[in-house]
Amino acid sequence: MQPPQPLRGIIPPLVTPLRDRDTLDTAGLERLVEHLISGGVSGLFILGTTGEGPSLSYRLRRELVQLACKFANNRVPVLTGITDTSFTESVNLARHAADCGATHVVTSAPYYFPAAPPEMLEYVQDLVAEMPLPLFLYNMPGLTKVSFELDLVRRALDMPGICGVKDSSCDMIYFHRLIEVARQRADWSVLVGPEELTAEAVLLGGHGGINGGANLHPRLYVDMYHAAAAQDLQRTRELHAQVMSLAGAIYTVGRHKSAIIKGIKCALSLTGVCEDHMAEPFHRFREPERGLMRERLMAIGLLA
């Protein structure tokens, strides 16, 4: 395995465009990939939380990986989520991703049976040994109920197959500790999930964001990253305020946690990028939520 190049910038976690609960919106996926690459993103992350990865059939996941890599056509790195309750299925999907041309794989802690720290370390060691691609650890304790503890991350420094961490814990103390750890490996990337924290994270040493709202307005997030990386505080503040406005508009239409993904998908549907069906157990916004989303997009200038 070649040493991975460190990733920097905005790497959107793609929604998975669906025509129904188990049928990919292929044309919508191609439009979405083009929309993001033309917006200047540094990579694409498929089958993450925003992509409803754990809710998709194994057949559809493999189809998505193959088509996303085809549409990206080696223009940007493609990161593939392999999180699963089954170790073997994670390995199988990683190998499929490598065959399709993906550049990295990403795993959060296996869910349902919560693993203790010693078990998590063994899991990561065993997984890395099977990986055909560089592996990102994805810290998402709000959904998996298990965190990649800092001691495990320090141990991961000695595992050449691991190339960094994506943190969606919303714990900035933890995030800053990750940055301290990552300084020991120049080839590592520490990326933040919540877009509301991306400007702060990059200003203080983080390497970029895997931000859901970038599906809709990639250039805004890319510009904010570059301003923060350049330590342009005034410009960063201005763009961060716009990101907060966008997030406030699209993430608060619904009342439940699923509203974030529904909101992004609904906005993409209204702007003509892709279909907004959801994988079960969720369903897309209906009227009047769709009408409210339309009003909010018009108010922030993303819809005429």
Active site residues: 138, 166
From CA 88, how far away is CA 100, in angstroms rounded? 18
- Report whether 248 contacts 214 (CB < 8 A): no
- Beta strands at 23-24 and 18-20: parallel, antiparallel or unpaired: antiparallel
Nearest to 198 by CA among 210, 216, 186: 210
Nearest to 111 by CA among 171, 174, 29, 55: 55
**134: Cβ contacts below 8 Å, ≥ 6 apart:** 1, 4, 103, 104, 105, 161, 162, 163
**173: Cβ contacts below 8 Å, ≥ 6 apart:** none
From CA 302, how far away is CA 68, in angstroms rounded? 25
- Report whether 253 contacts 261 (CB < 8 A): no
